[in-house]
């Protein structure tokens, strides 16, 4: 009897794998990539905080921009500017997992934006990013809701 109870308890508390939302908005709120302007990564090659004055809803998330021009660029071609893997940590997705991001830890490569969790993860990502991109591209469809 004790074995059955233990087995049942393990099943109930075992970690479950849940699919994630297509766009990373964190646990609370509905703002993509912590409110940073996705277009600025391409036009300024740096993380730039977006403004509530320039917002756009896309794929169920609120996106912010630092200027009307960036907002209009995104609206015209959101797939071009949106980060890969819904704005989750690219290195984590390559590991078949998801994690939040530090907006300052990014790579723009071949016209695509990749964000990472922190500086040490971004450094790890940079050392073998081609392999990580292949792995992340393979894992991402199975992680999404």
93-134: pLDDT as tens digits: 999 999 999 999 999 999 999 999 999 999 999 999 999 999
Lowest mean pLDDT among 8-17, 30-39, 85-94: 8-17
> Where in the chain are the domains?
18-143
Query: What's this model's pTM, rounded to 2 decimal places?
Result: 0.87
Task: Enumerate the H helices of the chain as residue ranges.
Answer: 2-13, 40-43, 68-76, 78-81, 90-94, 119-127, 129-143
119-127 and 129-143 are packed helices; what angle lies between their axes, rounded to 10 degrees? 110
pLDDT range class, residue 4, cuts 50, 70, 90: low
16-54: pLDDT as tens digits: 456 799 999 988 889 999 999 999 999 999 999 999 999
């Amino acid at each position: 009897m004790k074995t059955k109870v233990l087995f049942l308890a393990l099943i109930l508390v075992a970690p479950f794998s849940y699919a994630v939302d297509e766009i990373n908005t964190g646990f609370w709120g509905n703002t993509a990539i912590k409110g940073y302007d996705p277009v600025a990564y391409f036009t300024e090659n740096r993380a730039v905080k977006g403004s509530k004055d320039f917002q756009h809803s896309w794929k169920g998330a609120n996106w912010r921009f630092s200027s009307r021009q960036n907002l209009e660029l995104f609206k015209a071609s959101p797939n071009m500017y949106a980060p890969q893997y819904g704005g989750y940590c690219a290195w984590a997705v390559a590991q078949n997992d998801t994690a939040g991001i530090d907006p300052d830890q990014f790579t723009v490569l071949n016209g695509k934006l990749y964000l990472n969790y922190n500086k040490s993860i971004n450094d790890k990502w940079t050392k073998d990013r081609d392999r990580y991109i292949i792995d992340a591209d393979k894992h991402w469809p199975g992680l999404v809701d």
